[in-house]
Amino acid sequence: MKTFCVLSLLFSTFLISNAQLLESITPALGGGEPPKQIFDGVISVYNFAQEGILQMIWTLGCPDVKGTTNHPKAEQACKELEQLRGNLDSLATSSQPEVNAPGCPETDIREFAALSINGKYNGQEVKVMEVKYRNRCSLQVALAQANLPDLVPFEQDGNLSPPIDAAPATTV
């Protein structure tokens, strides 16, 4: 009787662990449900400066189930959006085109950077339309204050990172 109970317990454990293993690898094998898309949208920045107008547009999918993400810091940006649960209210109300952020260089009063975000977070529409900042540096400070430093990808020198596989940015 003891042998039967031990064998029965071992067999049950084997079935449960194999069922869990199969469940965990099914999506990777192309079966089962695809990963749930948390964010799918477009982020754009228009930078109006003395050297001209620069527009950068990035697509971002979290995870990238469509294969269309061209955001160079997608993984970091997705983590930030998930931590904030897609709440971009702090960005929508942070527009101060006439105020230069602390530590940012003074720029001509006619210069500014405008941020727009349009997409869906967990199926709910998310929009931040044409929020204006004094310059790229002020935009970068506002993103950091909103805990979204990688939502708009910047290079070390403060310039905007181009979309992946995009031609180098040109000014108009």
Query: Which pTM does this prediction carry?
Result: 0.72
**Statement: residue 3 has pLDDT above 80:** no
pLDDT of residue 87: 85
For the chain, the three-class secondary structure string (H helix, E strand, C coil) is CHHHHHHHHHHHHHHHHHHHHHHHHCHHHCCCCCCCCCEEEEEEEEEEECCEEEEEEEEEEECCCCCCCCCCCHHHHHHHHHHCCCCCHHHHCCCECCCCCCCCCCCCCCCEEEEEEEEEECCEEEEEEEEEECCHHHHHHHHHHCCCCCCCCECCCCCECCCCCCCCCCCC
Task: Read off the pLDDT of residues 56-111 as tens digits, 9 standing for 90 and up.
Answer: 999 999 998 888 899 999 999 999 999 988 888 888 777 777 888 888 888 877 78
